[in-house]
């Protein structure tokens, strides 16, 4: 049985911040990542939450990510913002870009943010969620080191490459939030099973010859299974074009892994589009979204993408989050090493 300890969201944020700073991250870079980690735990996505903090710390210490990086923001065209993340954490680069993107989208109706020389941005839906909170329709794309093979092939060429869309709704919560990778399951889930010595379900990953496997270690050496077969490969390619080719970031076939210490900075990318729906919908966006969401929620047992996360998010604000004590021990080891 897995032992857990309940922490408040403030405690999760504080613990994350202290560990990241202890590992050599500036507070300016650590703070956005710590806030995102708490939000990720609140949403119930533990594989991308505190469990990643020891990995982030290790990557700062080995040079895979520059904890002291200062993002450089430029605006080459009226509706386009670019950020050179300088091999630092994506979260600080996204924050810097959003400071320019959000007012631009409100002013012009639509604006784009392209980020390169970046690192893992965690849960992509966390970032589009923030655009929806600002009253904008948010679209996000992020590429990753290659782990999905093309249809008919066995050698990975594109990453799990998630995309996300968040539509603004009432009370600061998105009416719809879709956040899905091009693979059947996020690679971090396979990594989590490997750490815990647990088998994975058939359909999550493939071996080096393209055959299904239940061994997470074999799957990590092979490839991730694309969601929906060739259609999942198409989504991965779409995201690769948007997040890497369009931003000037490193393609997944050339990017170093997000796991382990080898290979230096991955230099991947993110692309965000922010659209003011009141401009393009002749003022009818909110009504149409209510009709659309209602048509789903009116069906017994039916749910929207993001409903589960929303329910957990609201509960976590009051009740906190149960965190694996083994994860807490790994973070405490980081803090202890810094004290010695």
Q: Which residues are catalytic?
A: 47-48, 189
What 3-state class would DSSP assign to 137? strand
Residue 317: which residues within 8 A CB-CB, separation 6 or more? 9, 42
Please give the C-alpha separations between residue 5 and each of 8, 34, 143, 312, in angstroms, as whole numbers.
10, 19, 33, 17
Cα(169)–Cα(178) distance, integer angstroms: 14
Distant-in-sequence, close-in-space partners of 100: CB < 8 Å, separation ≥ 6: 73, 75, 81, 113
- Residue 308, both tokens: 């589960």
Q: Which residues of 309-320 are buried (b: 16+ CB within 10 A; e: fewer)?
A: bbebbeebeeeb
Cβ atoms within 10 A of the Cβ of 305, count?
16
Q: Which of 195, 196, 215 is nearest to 204 (CA)?
A: 215
Written as six digits, the tokens of 181 are: 């990778």
First vs last Cα of the chain: how many Å apart? Answer: 32
Residues found in the chain? 340
């Amino acid at each position: 049985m897995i032992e857990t300890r309940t922490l408040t969201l403030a405690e999760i944020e504080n613990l994350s911040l202290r560990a990241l700073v202890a590992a050599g991250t500036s507070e300016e870079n650590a703070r956005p990542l710590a806030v995102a980690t708490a939000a990720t735990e609140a949403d119930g996505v533990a594989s991308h939450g505190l469990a990643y903090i020891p990995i982030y710390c290790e990557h700062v210490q080995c040079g895979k990510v520059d904890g002291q990086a200062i993002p450089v923001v430029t605006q080459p065209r009226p509706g386009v913002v670019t950020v050179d993340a300088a091999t630092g954490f994506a979260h600080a680069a996204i924050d810097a870009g959003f400071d320019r993107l959000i007012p631009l989208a409100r002013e012009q109706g639509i604006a784009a943010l392209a980020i390169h020389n970046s690192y893992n941005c965690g849960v992509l839906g966390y970032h589009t969620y923030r655009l929806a909170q600002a009253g904008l329709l948010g679209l996000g794309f992020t590429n990753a080191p290659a782990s999905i093979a093309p249809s008919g092939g066995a050698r990975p060429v594109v990453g799990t490459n998630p995309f996300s869309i968040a539509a603004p709704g009432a009370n600061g919560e998105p009416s719809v939030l879709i956040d899905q990778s091009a693979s059947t399951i996020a690679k971090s889930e396979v990594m989590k099973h490997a750490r815990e010595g647990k088998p994975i379900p058939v359909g999550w990953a493939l071996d080096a010859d393209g055959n299904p496997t239940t061994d997470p270690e074999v799957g990590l050496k092979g490839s991730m299974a694309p969601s929906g077969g060739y259609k999942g490969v198409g989504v991965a390619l779409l995201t690769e074009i948007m997040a890497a080719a369009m931003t000037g970031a490193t393609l997944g076939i050339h990017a170093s892994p997000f796991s382990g210490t080898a290979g230096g900075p991955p230099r991947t990318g993110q692309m965000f589009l922010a659209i003011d729906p009141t401009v393009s919908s002749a003022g009818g966006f909110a009504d149409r979204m209510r009709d659309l969401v209602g048509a789903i929620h009116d069906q017994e047992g039916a749910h929207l993408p993001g409903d589960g996360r929303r329910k957990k998010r609201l509960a976590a604000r009051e009740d906190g989050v149960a965190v694996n004590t083994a994860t807490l021990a790994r973070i405490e080891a980081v803090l202890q090493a810094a004290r010695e």
